[in-house]
Structure 1
Amino acid sequence: MSTPTQKHTRSRKNIRRGALKLKTVALAECAKCKRPVRPHTACAFCGSYKGKAVAKV
């Protein structure tokens, strides 16, 4: 493996690392219990999806 021939500046290093940020979690509100849940998933607290009961909790 070869070694770098030129030094990378701090700004060039930080620009490259700028794409490594964490993404925020998308949240929606449950139609029944009004708690925050992930979109397109059943609610873990009341077991409903789009206002209908789909799982026993």
Structure 2
Amino acid sequence: MAVPKRKMSRSNTRHRRSQWKATPVALVSCPRCRSPKQQHIACPTCGTYNGRQVIEPSA
């Protein structure tokens, strides 16, 4: 197993970690009710997925 020979400085560590960025959640509009929803997940507003009713709508 590879082991570092020297301690990595704080500035180098932070510079390397600065590239770790979280990506925002991709939202698409529901084809039935046009509300924003996540891809490949049933719509929480109308409860449909792939053109059919899969869950009870939330209120």
When normalised by structure 1's length, the TM-score is 0.66
Which is richer in helix?
Answer: 1
1:36 aligns with 2:23: no
Deviation at 1:37, TM superposition (A): 0.6
Report the alpha carbon displacement of residue 6 of structure 1 after superposing the two structures with TM: 6.8
Q: Which has the higher contact order (CA 8 A, sep 6+)?
A: 1
Give the superposed CA RMSD: 2.1
Q: Name structure 2 gaps, 5 residues minimum.
A: 1-5
Aligned equivalents of 2:43, 2:52: Cα separation in 1 = 10
Q: Deviations over 1:10-40 (max 9, x none)?
A: 4x34421223221111111111111111111
1:37–1:43 CA contact under 8 A, matched in 2: yes
